[in-house]
Amino acid sequence: MLKLISLELRKYRFSRHIGYAAMAGLAILLFLTLLGITDYGAEDYAFSTFAGSFMLIDTFVRATFMIFAGVLLSTMIALEYRNKTMGVLFTYPIKRRKLIAAKLVIIFVFTFGMILLTDVLMGSVLVVVDRFYPFITDSLTMEQARELLLEYTVSSLSAAAMALIPLLFGMRKHSVTTTMVSSILLVLIVCSGFNGPVVSIESIIAIHLALGAAGLCIAWLSMHRLETKDVN
Partner 1 sequence: MTYIARTIGVTKTYGGTEVVSDVCMNIRQGEIYGFLGHNGAGKTTLMRMLTNLVKPTAGEIELFGEKLTPHSYEVLKRMGSVIDYPFFYDGLSAWDNLDLHCEYMGFPDKKVIGTMMEQVGLKDIGRNPVREFSLGMRQRLGIARALVTTPELLILDEPINGLDPAGIKELRDLLKRLSAEYRITLLVSSHILGEIEQIADTVGVIRGGRLIEEVSMERIRGQHNEYIELRPTDVRKAAYVMEHLLGLRNYKLVGEHTIRVYDPGMSPSELNASLVRHDVAIESIFKRAHSLEEYFMNLMKGDGGIA
Binding of partner 1 at residue 188 (CB under 8 A)?
A: no
69, with CB counted inside 10 A (0-12, 13-18, 19+), is buried
Binding of partner 1 at residue 34 (CB under 8 A)?
A: no
**Among 20, 26, 84, 220, interactor with partner 1 by CB under 8 A:** 84
Alpha-carbon dihedral of residues 203, 204, 210, 212, nearest 10 degrees? -160
Binding of partner 1 at residue 228 (CB under 8 A)?
A: yes
- Between 153 and 175, name the residue whose CB sits nearer to partner 1: 175
Cβ–Cβ < 8 Å for 190, 138: no
Minimal distance in Å, beta carbon 1 to partner 1? 13
* 3-state SS assignment for residue 78: helix
- Between 44 and 230, name the residue whose CB sits nearer to partner 1: 230
**Among 94, 105, 120, 129, interactor with partner 1 by CB under 8 A:** 94
Question: Measured in Å, how far apart are the chain's first and last C-alpha atoms?
Answer: 25
Binding of partner 1 at residue 88 (CB under 8 A)?
A: yes
Q: At what angle do helices 96-132 and 2-11 cross, to 10 degrees?
A: 70
Minimal distance in Å, beta carbon 105 to partner 1? 17
For residue 39, give every residue at least 6 positions away whose Cβ sits within 8 Å of its Cβ, in sequence order, or none. 45, 46, 47
Binding of partner 1 at residue 14 (CB under 8 A)?
A: no
Residues 195-224 that bind partner 1 (CB under 8 A): none
Binding of partner 1 at residue 173 (CB under 8 A)?
A: no
**Among 45, 90, 135, 194, interactor with partner 1 by CB under 8 A:** 90
Cβ–Cβ < 8 Å for 166, 182: yes
Minimal distance in Å, beta carbon 88 to partner 1? 6
CA 181 – CA 71 distance, rounded (Å): 10
Question: Hey, how many other C-beta atoms are within 10 angstroms of the C-beta on 35?
Answer: 15
Binding of partner 1 at residue 143 (CB under 8 A)?
A: no
CA 158 – CA 223 distance, rounded (Å): 20
- Between 32 and 176, name the residue whose CB sits nearer to partner 1: 176
Give the residues lining the site for partner 1 (CB under 8 A). Answer: 3, 7, 10-11, 13, 83-85, 87-95, 227-228, 230-232
